[in-house]
Amino acid sequence: MYEFEISIGTAPVSKYRWLARIFMRGKMLSALLPLLLAAGTASAADKEPFVLLELGAAGEWSLNGGGPGFGPTAAIEFTAIRNWLAIEPGVTTLMSRGQTEWDTSFVFRKPFDLSPAVEFEPGIGPVWIHTVGNGRTTDSIYLEAAAHFEIWPTPDRKYGWFLEPTYTCSFGSGHEQSLGVGAGLLIPIE
């Protein structure tokens, strides 16, 4: 444990007096001030939001003869490794004739800037699908591949739009497959 005694005047402050003197003289603040100013002057385009909230609508069409489903979708995207990895957990509720499906996904994406206003993020990840309908309940694990587009209409990126076509296939019996699309609003949270 470090002992720290501070006294007023010219008397020694402790055996770690050099550290106390740095703080008392304000050298630490003057050393950090240029770093704080440089961090505060970064442009809005260089700043990444803490998370992106995605709210929208989705549709899905079965390739195995099932009917289409439509409903709301919500996700949170965050950057794990800048310019290399974005992770997006999300939930979609799809309603069709006689059944309701809850899709919970966890997609890993690689971001690419197509222009200052458009980003493209291809991704892949697992999806847990819980289906209730026709007198039964099923749970299945699927794999989802997605092509996520983000459109930012203003340079300050206060809001944006997303469009996300998807392909989903199951690992279970029947190898169910579907094509889907989601679209909606992007809200950056800093």
Looking at the domain assignment, is residue 46 inside a domain?
A: no
88: domain range?
Answer: 51-189
Position 151 scores a pLDDT of 96
Q: Are 74 and 88 contacting, i.e. CB atoms less than 8 angstroms apart?
A: no
Residues 77 and 137 in one domain: yes
Same domain for 57 and 36, yes or no, is: no
| 99 assigned to some structural domain | yes
What pLDDT is stored for residue 43 in this prediction?
Answer: 38
Q: What is the pLDDT of residue 46?
A: 53
Q: Looking at residue 104, what is its pLDDT?
A: 95
11 shares its domain with 65: no
- Indicate the pTM of the whole model: 0.71
Q: Are residues 104 and 176 in the same domain?
A: yes
Question: Residue ranges of the chain with pLDDT lower than 70?
Answer: 1-47
CB 160 within 8 A of CB 148: no
How does pLDDT run across 85-112, given as a tens digit for each residue?
999 999 999 999 888 999 999 999 999 9
